[in-house]
Structure 1
Amino acid sequence: MTKPSTDLIHHPYTPPANFAAPQPGIYKASTVFFADVAAMRARDWKTKAGYTYGLHGTPTTFTLEERLATLEGGSAALLVPSGLAAISLVSFAFLKAGDEVLIPDNAYGPNKALATGELANFGITHRLYDAMNPADLAAKISDRTRLVWVEAAGSVTMEFPDLPELVAVCRARNVLTALDNTWGAGLAFAPFDFNGTGQGVDISAHALTKYPSGGGDVLMGSVITRDARLHHALKLTHMRMGWGVGVGDVETLLRSLPSIGLRYAAHDRAARELARWFESRDEIAQVLHPALESSPGHEHWRALCGASDLAAGLFSVVFDDRYSTEQVDRFCDSLQLFRLGYSWGGPISLVVPYDIGLMRDQSVARWPHKGTLVRFSVGLEDVADLQADLARALGRL
């Protein structure tokens, strides 16, 4: 007869199956049990036909992966600890010493930092290209180019490129394309099927930290493909790098994901209203929002996102150059509802001032204004309250 401590660990009770509820079950596991040695040896960690080890997937992580693949129109997804980890996974899976990667000059800054740091240390070179000029991309693709990153809209400065043309340039040269799809979130446009043409990017990387989470409290990323061969390569690198995500964060994403469409549309409506209001202010030299006709690449946004008419909850403004950086910083400090903080997609509105001169390669960038740029992430507060907060802070310039 076994002792109580053993009985508690090896208790025979199993709850009945077929329990159904709005939220899927949460499975926490590193170790996964097998019925016998034959089952252990037959199980393949690279498929979703069964379970081998918590790092390779549980019913909970598989459920989130499948839902994210559906959201973006892909066939397979992998989860990683952050959006930057998603970018890293793609780069590590498809680049080796002697290869080259091309990155848009207006890309997410840490993507470029990865290229100048770890990728360079591994003997992988990179070059920046002008995302608003497909001819520049075409001219810079070389025999060593194995991967091209694209991003829509551009980070901070919000230019919207001609994504179909950029992808066509790469496809004609048999070069992989990877999209940072955090802004579009699978809602503004279909990354693998531009406007029903059947053409799109090869890989989509997504910072789930932003709109899929929606709470400003989760760090996670995903990499999604439609190509089984690409997914296999990503899966192998994913395993070798030992990337995993916490099941508590997966549970949070599964609870948040059903409302992403409602939240994304609400962020979008509020951001557009405030962006148009800023256009009327003489303190501002330019408002950068893809849905505004005056914003760079508006026609490309209209062509790609016209069916959804969605444009996320981000926009930037460039202050007139009569205002010093110190004055603009004081404007940001004076805001009460907009909090100073990185990231976006949560319920609280955020603001960050940037020095674009330090962020852009001046041989690539074509920046018409010299004033300080400020990016806004519009949350879910009442728009009238946010506008009043902005007006008060502008009054203190």
Structure 2
Amino acid sequence: MTADRSRQSERTRLIHLGRSAPIEGVRPVNPPVVRTSTVLAPDIATMRANKARRDDGSRVFSYGARGTPTAHALEDAWAALEGGERALLFPTGLAAIAHVMITCLAPGDHVLIQNTVYPQVHNIRSAYLERRGIATSYFDGTVQDAAAKITPATRMIYGENPGSWVYDLIDVAALATLAHDHGALLVVDNTWASGLLHKPLAHGADISVIAGTKYVVGHSDVMIGAVVANGDLGRDLWRMQVVMGQTVSPDDAYLTLRGLRTIAARLPMHAAGALRIARHLEGHPLIAAVLHPALESHPRHELWRRDFTGANGLLTLAMRADLDMATVDRFVDTLGLFGIGSSWGGFESLALPQAPDTVRGWTHPGIAVRLHIGLEDPADLEADLSRGLAAIG
């Protein structure tokens, strides 16, 4: 008897998405890792039929670079997670972002970019877009600022929800309306929510981009990105993916699918620890502010409550203004349970200081310290942070 998936919670669906097809009446729990470059057809007629289907935009197991059954299982699961028709896999989240811009923008177009997006997007802007006659400008994340800066040549509004480091939230539905009224696409980087906590496509966005390296993988051992879109747009993105030769290894697809199965269990643990620590640190004499969307003090907390179903393990500390970088570095170096690394989303806790003039959208005079709260006991992390702050106090 087949269960009615439409009645199941997402937590249940994630366990059963992208599962193996039966083999001789039985099936493994997880899809096999299919490693191959060449795929053999039984005859010329089958090869030609598969090529015709592929040229028409259908997904066909016909060549290793076009995806194996392992990657196809992950694509199906990821599309279902995001509520889209088609998911495409890329070697990194940055590769996924670049692919969207290369596919959807042409010389003479204009793209409006949220100021606080992932920093490497600014490198795509300067090193690729502007050199090829694609105009760019920034907006502060509000619909009002976007409306003031959109032009007849605007073909894309690119945002991240919430923005990196400062977690400024955007109103996806309102930005989608603005973009569509001007014949533009809305693209949303959904890495923070990882497809589970927020659904940009359901709010009107055209494309969702995720760095699966973070919470989807969850174990800090795979680099992968994904793009999710619907209809002709999804097919256009897929065709350009074939042209550009973008692919991922079956082993990385397998590990990512394994991580995706447990994301609904892991993210609430990250979120609970982060919120506990954020509240623990609010009001500390060495900390001017704690930035976290689930805190009532967040300026767009109500928007987070409206559009998200939860939070993750990220928070940013604004250190007191008189603490210099050497002092803040000493605080981070003193921590025993926090690794020093620039990624996040794995099971381990991380800490990373950043000078205020290098963080876009930073409105505090003090140095920023981003914390990723892993799966350790929050009480142990609190004690570690208290020791670190005492060392500079």
Give the Cα separation in 1 of the matches to 2:159 and 2:270.
Answer: 23
Residues 198 and 307 in structure 2, CA contact (< 8 A), matched pair in contact too? yes
1:280 matches 2:283: yes
* 1:186 positional shift: 1.4
Q: What letter corresponds to residue 36 of structure 1 in structure 2?
A: D
Residues 45 and 56 in structure 1, CA contact (< 8 A), matched pair in contact too? no
Residue 247 of structure 1 corresponds to which residue in structure 2?
A: 250
Residue 113 of structure 1 corresponds to which residue in structure 2?
A: 123
1:379 matches 2:386: no
1:27 matches 2:30: no
Q: What letter corresponds to residue 82 of structure 2 in structure 1?
A: E
CA shift digits 1:223-276 (9 cap, x unpaired): 001x21101110111011111101111111122211010001111110000011
* 1:344 positional shift: 0.8
Secondary structure of 1:45's counterpart equals helix
Residue 101 of structure 2 corresponds to which residue in structure 1?
A: 91
Give the Cα separation in 2 of the matches to 1:16 and 1:129.
Answer: 53
Give the TM-score taking structure 1 as reference length: 0.90
CA shift digits 1:100-154 (9 cap, x unpaired): 11111011000111111112222212111110x2111011111211111111111
Secondary structure of 2:137's counterpart equals strand
Q: State the aligned residue count.
A: 368
Percent of residue pairs bearing the same amino acid type = 39
Residue 17 of structure 2 corresponds to which residue in structure 1?
A: none
Matches within 5 A, 1:1-397: 17-43=24-50, 44-45=53-54, 47-48=57-58, 50-131=60-141, 133-194=142-203, 200-225=204-229, 227-305=230-308, 308=309, 310-360=310-360, 365=361, 367-397=362-392
From the superposition, tell whether residues 49 and 355 of structure 1 become closer, same or farther in structure 2 (CA, over 3 Å).
closer
From the superposition, tell whether residues 356 and 241 of structure 1 become closer, same or farther in structure 2 (CA, over 3 Å).
farther
* 1:158 positional shift: 1.2
* 1:16 positional shift: 6.4
Secondary structure of 1:340's counterpart equals coil
Give the Cα separation in 2 of the matches to 1:50 and 1:234.
Answer: 16
Give the Cα separation in 2 of the matches to 1:231 and 1:80.
Answer: 14
Give the Cα separation in 1 of the matches to 2:104 and 2:328.
Answer: 42
Q: What letter corresponds to residue 32 of structure 1 in structure 2?
A: V
Give the Cα separation in 2 of the matches to 1:172 and 1:358.
Answer: 34
From the superposition, tell whether residues 349 and 36 of structure 1 become closer, same or farther in structure 2 (CA, over 3 Å).
same
CA shift digits 1:157-177 (9 cap, x unpaired): 112222222222212212101
Residues 220 and 345 in structure 2, CA contact (< 8 A), matched pair in contact too? yes
Secondary structure of 1:375's counterpart equals strand
Residues 102 and 126 in structure 1, CA contact (< 8 A), matched pair in contact too? yes
Give the Cα separation in 1 of the matches to 2:231 and 2:176.
Answer: 19
Q: What letter corresponds to residue 263 of structure 2 in structure 1?
A: I
Q: What letter corresponds to residue 203 of structure 1 in structure 2?
A: I
Give the Cα separation in 2 of the matches to 1:119 and 1:154.
Answer: 21
Q: What letter corresponds to residue 253 of structure 1 in structure 2?
A: T
Residues 152 and 182 in structure 2, CA contact (< 8 A), matched pair in contact too? no
* 1:49 positional shift: 5.4
| Larger Rg over CA atoms | 1
From the superposition, tell whether residues 74 and 16 of structure 1 become closer, same or farther in structure 2 (CA, over 3 Å).
closer
Give the Cα separation in 2 of the matches to 1:295 and 1:49.
Answer: 44
Q: Which runs of 5+ in 2 are unaligned?
A: 1-21
Residue 8 of structure 2 corresponds to which residue in structure 1?
A: none
Q: What letter corresponds to residue 193 of structure 2 in structure 1?
A: G
Residues 288 and 296 in structure 1, CA contact (< 8 A), matched pair in contact too? no
Residues 161 and 190 in structure 2, CA contact (< 8 A), matched pair in contact too? yes
Give the Cα separation in 2 of the matches to 1:332 and 1:282.
Answer: 17
Residue 11 of structure 1 corresponds to which residue in structure 2?
A: none
CA shift digits 1:295-354 (9 cap, x unpaired): 23212111212xx2x011101010110211211111111111011001111011011111
Residues 48 and 62 in structure 1, CA contact (< 8 A), matched pair in contact too? no
Give the TM-score taking structure 2 as reference length: 0.91
